Amino acid sequence: MFYTHMSPLASSVLVLSALAFFAYTMLGRGRVLFAVKPVDRFDNVPDRLAALLAFGFGQKRMVDPEERTTGAMHVLIFAAFMTLALRTVMLVVMGFSEGAFHLFTNPAHPFWLEHTLLKSLFEAYLLAKDVVAVGALAGVLYFFYLRLVVQPDRLTKSGEALLILGFIGGLMVTEFLFGAAHMLHEGYGFYAPEPVTSLVAEALRPLALSQAALSGLAGAGFWTHLVIIFVFLNFLPYGKHFHIITGLPNVFFKRLTPSGKLRTADLAKEDFGARTVKDLHWKNLLDVYSCTECGRCQTHCPTYLTGKPLTHKQVNQDIKQWTWANQDALATGKTKDGKDFEVPGIIGSILKAETVWACTTCGWCETACPVFIENIPRLVEMRRQKVQVEADFPPEAQRVFEGMERQGNPWGIGQDKRDEWAADLQLPTWGDGGGPYEYLFFVGCAGSYDDRMKKVSRSMVRILNEAGIKFATLSKQEACTGDPARRLGNEYLFQTLAKTNVETLNSLGVKAVITQCPHCFNTIKNEYPDFGGNYEVWNHTEFINHLLKTGRIKLGKVMNEKLTYHDPCYLGRHNGVYDAPREALSAIPGLQVVEMQRSKRESFCCGAGGGRMWLEEHEGTRINHARVNEIALTLQHDKDPATPFPSATDMKKPGQVGAYTGPTAQGVVAVACPFCHTMVRDGLSDTGREEQVKVKDVAELVADALEPAKPQA
């Protein structure tokens, strides 16, 4: 009989041994999660389920425009896995009995499908199974081509990856062979619910295989399929494809707060960051388990592309491999010989210090990651330990901390000079008895002390006055929001400044705040609520665009200039503000806006975030140099289209980003961040382009184009 190759004994041995070994491996991997810090990721279950549906099962991040082909192929393979999971259960059950075999393989409608609805559902499933299996084969062939021929830089060369692709392809092929052999053995013709299987059967028919040969072919397909399934299952927890198991849970447990919000540590409980792996929380470890090594985190990473000692993919692998090598000791607290296990520090035993300090916290890695790995918070936790416990940090940061602590700003300039930029403007101060005021204009440290940024502050005042906005500043009461301190790891200093600022704002009754620095914007909007500071917070580009749309200001001056816009990371990626500055710029008559290759979501960092504004770059190309080269290329290409843009592939290679050193057309680069302003301006000066390209804030450009209000009669 056709089904004689089915063996309950063999099936039992295969299934039970495979599941037992898998359970043993998973126990070791899983119990480490209970040995590290807890974190509550079981809140807001409806939101988590929605994210799981959209990004887990829906694979929303896999098909972003930049990775559309690769993502689509991955979706085909994922769909096959999800659909064939039920088929795998069917095959396992078939291995135990003849009756089960007939239940799932008889196109002549077995007895349990006499009900019309059940029959329709089963046939629909068979059709889906055939279709997705073909799609998975297409995906496998594509990824073989990608890895063996194209070899993109972001993909780690890996024999494991090729083996897994072979496993996946083998599952699809054996499924078709098993079904086709059965159809030929039973003498069935074309069966519409299984069109691909039927076509395979038709391809085999001319071979005129004997009944015994067909039975043998089906048996080979059946057992090979099951063996691959269980070998594959047990292989997963030992390599990068562990994400097949952990990826969906990792999406469910994703951070629901804005990416620009860092965790507020409980300093009273001596929560001073992460020294060892045990100081991380279980989601941090689930993150490293879930890293697919896809390399998407590298494609626009400023540190990786300019040769800094940091790739988030490698950080994940280093922590994962160390954790797996020491999982028993971590879980039990004992070494193999029964001694107490002294857990070494992450920095020194797993990562280098320069790796941890290199990150600009630009957010690209987290924006790109399809399984929502949280890279930035983990690195900041390590910085917190180095700063607050070990007092071991880059020497340049000492001056920044001292300036913020003593004078309320990173430069350490006297607090009494904070309002000198507006000495002749007679601005109202919140709490001076005037008002009532609608908005607090939070000027920020750069806008108060940096000579170039003072012009931006004055431009913003001009716009607000032109619109008739009732606003005030804090004058000398204003202090740094603490953003640089927090991202450099000095959580204590950040919390001191945050509590002081919130107390000031709340005591004055401030309800709405306008900022001109994305770092102030992010901190006040996303991080101050932890300290009781809940305000309506506007970035100045949003507010300017709002004034334009509501007709509160009008632009009349024609500017016949070429301009490109640089997206600040803490305005764009971390807070999703992309359109407002562009709409404000497009409202200026005569201004021609051209986009860089890296813009909006894919914008390239200026290099100043994460406190890097005050730290030196000791390795590789300077990040701001790479960005200004790209700015120059954009303006030159718009003038002379014969000037070629690098290919999308080249733009993702180290050393290729911002490699342009040719001529530069006259133009303007618009910014919306004082850090970006400084870094871009310095980069232009360093590369000899300061005469060709001018740097202006969006507020300056709009203020210059203002059409004065008509005097009232």
d(CA 496, CA 393): 20
Mean pLDDT calculated for residue range 490-506: 97
What is the residue whose two structure tokens read 């850090």?
A: 675
pLDDT tens, residue by residue, 93-152? 777 765 555 555 555 555 555 667 777 888 888 899 999 999 999 999 999 999 999 888
Residue 536 scores a pLDDT above 80: yes
pLDDT tens, residue by residue, 304-362? 999 999 999 999 999 999 999 999 999 999 998 889 999 999 999 999 999 999 999 99
- Higher local confidence (pLDDT), 184 or 685: 685
> What pLDDT is stored for residue 2 in this prediction?
46
63-72, 342-351, 536-545, 595-604, range with the lowest pLDDT = 63-72
Could you tell me the pLDDT band of residue 250, with boundaries at 50, 70 and 90? very high
> What pLDDT is stored for residue 106 in this prediction?
53
What is the residue whose two structure tokens read 């540190």?
A: 303
Does residue 436 have a cis bond before it (omega within 30 degrees)?
yes
d(CA 266, CA 226): 51
**In terms of C-beta density within 10 A (0-12 exposed, 13-18 middle, 19 or more buried), how is residue 713 classed?**
exposed
> What pLDDT is stored for residue 601 in this prediction?
94
Residue 184 scores a pLDDT above 90: no
**For a pLDDT cut of 90, what percent of the chain falls above it?**
73
Could you tell me the pLDDT band of residue 708, with boundaries at 50, 70 and 90? low
pLDDT tens, residue by residue, 78-97? 999 888 888 888 888 777 76
> What pLDDT is stored for residue 191 in this prediction?
85
- Higher local confidence (pLDDT), 478 or 69: 478
Structural domain spans, the chain: 73-252, 267-388, 397-704
d(CA 700, CA 588): 12
> What pLDDT is stored for residue 105 in this prediction?
57
Could you tell me the pLDDT band of residue 3, with boundaries at 50, 70 and 90? very low
From residue 599, alpha-carbon distances to 249, 480, 596, 631, 665 in Å are 31, 29, 6, 11, 19
9-13, 272-276, 451-455, range with the lowest pLDDT = 9-13
From residue 665, alpha-carbon distances to 57, 418, 643, 656, 696 in Å are 47, 38, 11, 21, 16
What topology does CATH give the domain 267-388? Fumarate Reductase Iron-sulfur Protein; Chain B, domain 2 (1.10.1060)
Instruction: State the pairing for strand pair 592-594/562-565.
Output: parallel
> What pLDDT is stored for residue 712 in this prediction?
47
> What pLDDT is stored for residue 452 in this prediction?
96
The four Cα atoms 675, 679, 680, 684 give a dihedral, to 10 degrees, of 160
> What pLDDT is stored for residue 103 in this prediction?
54
> What pLDDT is stored for residue 658 in this prediction?
77
**In terms of C-beta density within 10 A (0-12 exposed, 13-18 middle, 19 or more buried), how is residue 491 classed?**
buried
pTM for this predicted structure: 0.91
Could you tell me the pLDDT band of residue 210, with boundaries at 50, 70 and 90? confident
What is the chain's length? 713
Could you tell me the pLDDT band of residue 552, with boundaries at 50, 70 and 90? very high
- Higher local confidence (pLDDT), 433 or 288: 288
**In terms of C-beta density within 10 A (0-12 exposed, 13-18 middle, 19 or more buried), how is residue 586 classed?**
middle
> What pLDDT is stored for residue 25 in this prediction?
95
Could you tell me the pLDDT band of residue 36, with boundaries at 50, 70 and 90? very high
Rounded to the nearest integer, the mean pLDDT of the chain is 91
How does DSSP classify residue 553? S
pLDDT tens, residue by residue, 379-432? 999 999 999 999 999 999 999 999 999 999 999 999 999 999 999 998 999 988
* Sheet strand arrangement including 667-671: 592-594, 562-565, 667-671, 693-697
